[in-house]
Amino acid sequence: MTNDVEKRWRDPQAFRAAVTYVAAVIAVAAVCFAFYAIPDDHSVVAAVLVPGVLFAGGLGAFAQTYRVWKAHGTWPIWHGAGWFLFALFLLCLSVPGSAITA
């Protein structure tokens, strides 16, 4: 069992899983952004999907954090993935704002 205070977390398999999850969520958000940016009519619905996907992905990462924590695994890896997706969510909140003003 790992001690939560211990800072030497090393789990390459969990790290790869978290990075794959984050990359997949960002790829879906990028596709949503392409549906917003490429056409000339800048749909507000497509613009809202960009931060929506990142928010849902962050919630999914935090849910996985809880599951891994309950299983006494290396949960900080998933916790960091969740916070990274939430930070991107906050940055992408400007996309719907630009669609509304356009």
Residue 66 lies in a domain: yes
More confident residue, 23 or 97: 23
Residue 5 lies in a domain: no
Residue 1 lies in a domain: no
Going by C-alpha positions, the residue among 91, 70, 85, 90 that lies closest to residue 18 is 85
More confident residue, 90 or 41: 90
Please write the tens of the pLDDT for every residue from 52-83: 999 999 999 999 999 999 998 889 999 999 99
More confident residue, 91 or 40: 91
Domain count for the chain, please give it: 1
Residue 3 lies in a domain: no
Please write the tens of the pLDDT for every residue from 85-96: 999 999 999 888
Residue 30 lies in a domain: yes
Residue 64 lies in a domain: yes
- Residue 30 belongs to domain spanning: 12-101
Token pair in block for residue 90: 């906050």
Largest Cα–Cα distance in the chain?
A: 55
